[in-house]
Each structure stands twice: as C-alpha cells, then as structure tokens.
C-alpha cells in the first residue's frame, strides 16, 4: 500500500480530517533504516492510523555540521513506508515548515545545555521547536521516538509535560547491527576502518553495564577502559563525553537507582552517540 504523501499544511489538514480513531506519528529526518521501521511497527500497535514525517530540520544543525550532506533518500524512504503499511507521510519543504525566519522558538533550558547539548550548542532548541511544530500540525494521539537519542526523548517528554501538549510520547528500543553498532542514518558516512573503531561505543556500554552492580565508579571506569584503547586506534576515536545520568533529567547520578550511561564520540568526521539504561547497585 502506497501511503498518502502530503507536502503542504493544507494537504496535511485535509488528510488529517479524514482520520478516524487514533493516530500515531513517527517523526524522522528520512534516510530510513531498520530502527525507524521498528518505530513504525510500534506505531501500528499503538494506533489505527500511522503517520511518518520526513524533514531534515535546519534549526538543529550547528555551524560546520552535516546539514548539507545529511543523506536524503526520499524515493527509498517512501518504499520503506509502503512496505510497513504507513498510511500518511508528511514531507514538507523548508518553506512550509518555516515560511518566515522564526522569531519565537522553544528554549530547551538547563537540560538542553548538558551532555549532548554541551557538545552541540543550540541543537536541542532547534529539535524541540520542530517537534512542537510537527505535533501541532499533525495532532497525533501518540508520538514515538527512538531511545537511542535518550536525551532527545527525555527533553521531548519534558516539553510535552511543561507545555501541556495533548500527546502521549513513547520510546522505541534501540536497534543494533549484528556487531552491536547502534543503527543511525549517519553510519553510512563511516569507512570500514572507521566503523571498526566506532564499535568501541557499544563495547564500552556493555562493559559499563556488566559493572552496574558495583556502582557508578565501576561503571564509568569499565567503559572508559574500552574507550581509552579506541582513542589510540587507527583511525582514532575522539571522545566527546561519557556520562552516567538520570534518565529523566540527565543530571549526574552517584547512587543506586535508574541511570543512563551515555557516550558520544567522533570517528573521522562522523558524530556517533549511544546509550544503555542501567539499574545501579543491582545485577543488570
């Protein structure tokens, strides 16, 4: 089944008016992979109608980042949506999403200035702005985001709660390659040697998870041992951060309880992120 493809606000409003029952939205920037497809399947289990948005959002790319070269694969994206039985695809242009230079945007606050936000200033402001616009335009009952972007998911949940947006936000589990690399549209940038180095992220997280029963210091030490070795590999890994944080606030954690071990690094010109949820002080 080929999904209905709409590109303007008027076309979207007309298509949305025809939806009966519940609607689930999977926001994406395209270049769809199995991780996105798993979110679509989750959306189908959550609602009678599934919508996917495809929009490479310029507001969340900083100077010198990969906006211009970010993969755009619209024909194959539509084929993937069709294979998953997606009902509606919203694929707006930049002019549709931002007809004028936006004067009022979402400010991510202190939570948007730490961890990934510290490495990419302004990123979460741009991300939250476009997500709020998409939620207002599509008006889904459920919106589904990948847990690989753990800080993004936590911030969207906070925005929805703080601004009383009438939508349920669900997370979808991270999908990995057989070798452990978390699926990402940016993985296609990696050369074979770079990919080999990039596997250190998932190995570090597994090492940290194995030490969860021993407490926070043991978790970060185990993960850091793996990353230290990768920093001397050829090509080398350049670590941006390794943090152990609260899953809802991304504030540092130092005692027993729920936590996220999050890591980000650059291999060559490619920015990679990954994370794992832990129960500190207990067997993981």
Question: What's the rounded Cα separation, in Å, for the pair 44 and 42?
Answer: 5
269 known member of a binding site: no
- Clarify whether 123 is annotated catalytic: no
36 known member of a binding site: yes
183 known member of a binding site: yes
CB 199 within 8 A of CB 180: yes
| The two three-digit tokens of residue 57, written as one number | 């959002």
103 known member of a binding site: no
152 known member of a binding site: yes
Q: What is the four-CA torsion angle of 45, 46, 51, 55, rounded to 10 degrees?
A: -100
133 known member of a binding site: no
Residue 181: which residues within 8 A CB-CB, separation 6 or more?
187, 195, 198, 199, 201, 202
Which one of 36, 123, 271, 277 is the catalytic residue? 36
Q: Which has the closest alpha carbon to 270: 197, 205, 203, 187?
A: 187
18 known member of a binding site: no
114 known member of a binding site: no
108 known member of a binding site: no
Q: Which has the closest alpha carbon to 237: 187, 201, 184, 207?
A: 201
- Bridge partners (DSSP) listed for residue 278: 259
155 known member of a binding site: no
CB 183 within 8 A of CB 33: yes
Task: Name all contacts of 166-171 with Cβ < 8 Å and 24+ positions apart.
Answer: 167/135, 167/140, 167/141, 167/142, 167/143, 168/141, 168/142, 168/143, 169/142, 169/143, 169/144, 169/145, 170/42, 170/46, 170/142, 170/143, 170/144, 170/145, 171/144, 171/145, 171/146, 171/147
30 known member of a binding site: yes
186 known member of a binding site: yes
32 known member of a binding site: yes
- Pairing of β 257-267 and β 237-245: antiparallel
175 known member of a binding site: yes
- Strands, E assignment, 62-121: 88-90
Residues annotated catalytic, as ranges: 36
Specify binding-site residues: 29-36, 60, 146-149, 152, 175, 183-186
Binding residues for beta-alanine are: 60
Known binding positions for (R)-pantoate: 60, 152
- Residues at the binding site for ATP are 29-36, 146-149, 175, 183-186
């Amino acid at each position: 089944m080929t999904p209905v493809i709409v590109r303007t606000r008027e076309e979207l409003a007309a298509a949305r008016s025809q939806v009966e029952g519940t609607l689930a939205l999977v926001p994406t920037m395209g270049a769809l992979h199995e991780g996105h497809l798993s979110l679509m399947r989750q959306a189908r289990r959550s609602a009678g109608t599934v919508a996917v948005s495809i929009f490479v959002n310029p507001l969340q790319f900083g100077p010198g980042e990969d906006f211009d070269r970010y993969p755009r694969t619209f024909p194959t994206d539509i084929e993937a949506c069709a294979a998953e039985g997606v009902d509606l695809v919203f694929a707006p242009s930049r002019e549709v999403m931002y007809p004028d230079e936006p004067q009022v945007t979402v400010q991510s606050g202190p939570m948007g200035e730490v961890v990934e936000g510290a490495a990419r200033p302004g990123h979460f402001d741009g991300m939250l702005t476009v997500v709020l616009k998409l939620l207002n335009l599509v008006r889904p009952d459920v919106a589904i985001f990948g847990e690989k972007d753990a800080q993004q998911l936590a911030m969207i949940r906070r925005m929805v709660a703080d601004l009383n947006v009438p939508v349920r936000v669900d997370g979808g589990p991270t999908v990995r390659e057989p070798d452990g690399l978390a699926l990402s549209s940016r993985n296609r940038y990696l050369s074979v040697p770079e990919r080999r180095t990039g596997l250190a992220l998932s190995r570090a997280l597994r090492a940290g998870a194995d030490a969860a029963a021993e407490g926070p210091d043991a978790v970060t030490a185990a993960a850091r041992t793996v990353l230290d070795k990768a920093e001397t590999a050829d090509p080398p890994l350049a670590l941006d951060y390794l943090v152990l944080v609260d899953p809802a606030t991304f504030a540092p954690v130092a005692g027993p309880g729920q936590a996220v071990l999050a890591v980000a690094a650059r291999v060559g010109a490619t920015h990679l992120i990954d994370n794992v949820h832990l129960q500190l002080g207990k067997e993981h």
